[in-house]
Structure 1
Amino acid sequence: MKQNYAIIGLGRFGGSICQTLVESGREVLAIDKSEDRANAYMDIATHVVVG
């Protein structure tokens, strides 16, 4: 069974967690209020939202 995660905030800690989860085969919804940070994770996370 595949597990899904949501990361709110793509700063130093959230970005690191996001990358680790994706590398281990998990699906990740990444959410950040900064459009620049969200765009930086477009190719890493499964789904990215600015909010």
Structure 2
Amino acid sequence: MAYWDLNPSWVEAVLRTRDDFERGMATAVKNKAANITVERGAETIMSRVKN
């Protein structure tokens, strides 16, 4: 995972912009993210993105 510090709400906001957005898409992404183990790395640009 290149952006370990990506805020899940940002991902959901991006998904909502899709024409084919369904609530299940956001749920699937959240479930997948909950099952991923990531080592904390250096700060990325995504940690600076504000909601």
Length-normalised TM-score, structure 1: 0.29
Higher RCO (CA < 8 A, seq sep 6+): 2
Greater strand proportion? 1
Q: Which has the higher helix share?
A: 2
Larger radius of gyration: 2
